[in-house]
Amino acid sequence: QRLLEIRKQICNPMTMKVTYYKEPVFIHQGHMQWLWDMDGKRYLDLFAGVATVSVGHCNPRVTEAAVKQLEHLWHTTAIYIHPQIQEYAEKLASLLPEPLKVVYLTNSGSEANDLAMLMARVHTGNHDVITLRGSYHGGSPLAIGLTSNAAYKYPVASGFGCHNTMCPDVFRGVWGGNQCRDSPVQTIRECSCSPGHCQANGRYIEQMKEMFATTVPNRIAAFFGEPIQGVGGAVQYPKSFLKDTYKLVREKGGICIADEVQTGFGRTGSHFWGFQAHDVMPDIVTMAKGIGNGFPMGAVVTTEEIAGSFAKGVHFNTFGGNPVACAIGSSVLDTIAEDGLQENCAVVGTYLLTELAKLRDKHEIVGDVRGKGLMIGVEMVTDKVSRVPLPKEAMAEIFEDVKDMGVLIGTGGLYGQTFRIKPPMCITKEDVDFFLAVFDQALQ
């Protein structure tokens, strides 16, 4: 009770608003995909601290790397050379395609996106940035301008120079909302795209052109896009959307930024980075969350050209590149590679999507099942025909039931109508079966 009072009055009191839990869950301990509360009840964690615990809670290998580094050197700043930061930056850069090779280490995703926005403005000399409706890019004063979801916006927050453009939502799209032929979930459903989502791509690009003509003529600094929207509810775009957008933004003098905070580090299964599935090459990639398996870390990776422009000023960060963070980050990369976790995301994720699609067919209130790898959204509706978002009270009831039966999931979407499943990348098919039985019962 005392902890609950502190939580409500002293400790980040507004954060409960981002979940449907009636009361906070008292998390006490974690191991891999499992969490235990203070009464010893075990939960299968399918939200991973919001897609953050990539290789499992307290993964023994990563813990060992952290402890070893803690005994050796906790802190020095990046103004000194120390092996962890140099070796980690080199390792991280080697996972990105040319010409992305200059690394800046930060402490969070918001900070990474703030830095990317600053770089874009310095490099282009322009101010305006474009993001997609439904996007989430952070809560710091600059990044909140990029974030489009009204729920996270304070009326006085700086949105100066930030413009949201329509997002080609697979399910709820303005122009054609059906699943498309090129969607990564094609293994689940046949295309029903005529005259739907794929064909609508051109119209989204047209409205973006119109925005350029009317709102941001010739002074665009950057376009920020998540390869699959995270907080927005696993929203996927038609295959050529990002490619066409990048082309348009570059024609107007802007650069293109991929926010890989949720989609990076193999979570989407088919590729290590989400942008790779869209056949595009960003000028800047921002990352956080899974990079440190829950340890506060983030990064910005860019080209030598942009780094050259940025080098005209001075940028300093006390904690970015902390030796412990770098030791952890390095161990996370080794673990993903050696334990085959990207492959596991592809295999277990496809199984989960396939089985969830069966629940969608069984339950009238499951409107859409989508995503890629272990980045999955289940969009809830009052009925399949109207596609009206399921009211929050009903969402909360299902959410609570799932928790009571021992599984933690997340929520998202512009109307809070999407359940999000982003577990540690080490979950198994048996875990999925356990969840499916629980979810089926809760939906019932």
Pick 142 or 220: Cβ nearer ligand PMP: 142
Report, in Å, the least distance between residue 51 CB and ligand PMP.
7
Alpha helix stretches (DSSP H) within 272-368: 304-310, 323-338, 341-362
Report, in Å, the least distance between residue 120 CB and ligand PMP.
15
Pick 196 or 264: Cβ nearer ligand PMP: 264
Going by their DSSP bridges, the two strands 27-31 and 220-225 should be labelled as unpaired
Pick 226 or 283: Cβ nearer ligand PMP: 226
CB-nearest residue to ligand PMP: 109
Pick 176 or 230: Cβ nearer ligand PMP: 230
- Residues 114, 226, 368, 379: which binds ligand PMP (CB under 6 A)? 226
Going by their DSSP bridges, the two strands 162-165 and 418-421 should be labelled as unpaired
Pick 30 or 230: Cβ nearer ligand PMP: 230
Report, in Å, the least distance between residue 266 CB and ligand PMP.
16
Report, in Å, the least distance between residue 68 CB and ligand PMP.
25
Interface characters, 282-301, with ligand PMP (x: CB under 6 A): ------x-------------
Is 34 within 8 Å of 431 (Cβ atoms)? Answer: no
Region of residue 293 (phi > 0: left; psi between -120 and 50: alpha; otherwise: beta): left
Supply the angle between the helices 83-93 and 323-338 in degrees, to the nearest 10: 40
Binders of ligand PMP among 93-152, rule CB under 6 A? Answer: 108-110, 113, 136-138
Q: Which residue has the tokens 């928790």?
A: 403
Report, in Å, the least distance between residue 411 CB and ligand PMP.
13
Pick 224 or 310: Cβ nearer ligand PMP: 224
Rounded-to-integer distance, Cα 193 and Cα 130, Å: 27
Binding of residue 225 to ligand PMP (CB under 6 A): no
Pick 295 or 434: Cβ nearer ligand PMP: 295
- Residues 231, 336, 356, 375: which binds ligand PMP (CB under 6 A)? 231
Residues near 241 by beta carbon (within 8 Å), at least 6 away in sequence: 168, 201, 204, 205, 278
Task: Determine whether 385 is exposed, middle or buried from the number of CB atoms within 10 Å of its CB (0-12, 13-18, 19+).
Answer: exposed
Q: Rounded to 10 degrees, what is the CA torsion of 129, 135, 139, 143?
A: -10
- Residues 114, 259, 355, 368: which binds ligand PMP (CB under 6 A)? 259
Pick 111 or 283: Cβ nearer ligand PMP: 111
DSSP 431: H
Pick 248 or 285: Cβ nearer ligand PMP: 285
The C-alpha angle with vertex 442 and arms to 441 and 444, in degrees rounded to 5, equals 65
Report, in Å, the least distance between residue 230 CB and ligand PMP.
4
Report, in Å, the least distance between residue 279 CB and ligand PMP.
20
Name the one range near ligand PMP by CB under 6 A: 1-9, 207-215, 248-256, 259-267. 259-267
Is 409 within 8 Å of 419 (Cβ atoms)? Answer: yes
Report, in Å, the least distance between residue 231 CB and ligand PMP.
5
> Which residue, 157, 151, 117, is CA-closest to 306?
117
Burial 419-436 (b: 16+ CB within 10 A, else e): bbbbbbbbbeeebbebbb
Binders of ligand PMP among 304-363, rule CB under 6 A? Answer: none
> Which residue, 243, 306, 297, is CA-closest to 100?
306
Name the one range near ligand PMP by CB under 6 A: 54-62, 168-176, 237-245, 255-263. 255-263
Going by their DSSP bridges, the two strands 34-37 and 27-31 should be labelled as antiparallel
Report, in Å, the least distance between residue 147 CB and ligand PMP.
8
Pick 27 or 394: Cβ nearer ligand PMP: 27
Is 235 within 8 Å of 208 (Cβ atoms)? Answer: no
- Residues 56, 161, 230, 412: which binds ligand PMP (CB under 6 A)? 230
The count of chain residues that interact with ligand PMP, using the rule CB under 6 A, is 15
Pick 135 or 350: Cβ nearer ligand PMP: 135
- Residues 32, 50, 118, 191: which binds ligand PMP (CB under 6 A)? 50
Supply the angle between the helices 60-70 and 323-338 in degrees, to the nearest 10: 160
**CA quadruple 148, 149, 152, 154: dihedral positive or negative?**
positive
| Residues found near ligand PMP in the complex (CB under 6 A) | 50, 108-110, 113, 136-138, 226, 230-231, 259, 261-262, 288
